[in-house]
Amino acid sequence: MKKIMIACAAVLALGLTSCGDTNYCYEIKSTYTIGGVEFSTTSYVWTTKNEIKAYEKNAKETAKKLGASEDVINISSSITTRSKEDCK
């Protein structure tokens, strides 16, 4: 019985880790304020769920380099229904 439970746990763990490796088209929205003026950008990236945080971090760093304060930067991402070819 113990071996069966260990095997089931291993299969479940493998199943959960592979879910983040599927590519989708993500929409990344950045909104920030510099000098009282609000800026908003939208970009599309063909990537995995595991890698999307790196894209969000890059968008935040770009806004900071442009002069936005960290407390006014809002970055969000969501999966779209776009195909790989349309993800631009």
Q: How many CA atoms does the CB half-sphere of 8 hold within 13 Å? A: 5
Q: Where in the chain are the domains?
A: 22-88
Q: pLDDT of 24-41, one tens digit each?
A: 999 999 999 999 999 999
Q: Does the pLDDT value for residue 2 go beyond 60?
A: no
Handedness of CA 52, 56, 59, 65 (dihedral sign): negative
CATH of 22-88, one of 3.30.70, 3.10.20, 3.40.120, 3.40.50: 3.10.20
- Distant-in-sequence, close-in-space partners of 17: CB < 8 Å, separation ≥ 6: none
Q: How confident is the model at residue 21 (pLDDT cuts 50, 70, 90)?
A: confident
Q: pLDDT of 46-71, one tens digit each?
A: 999 989 999 999 999 999 999 999 89
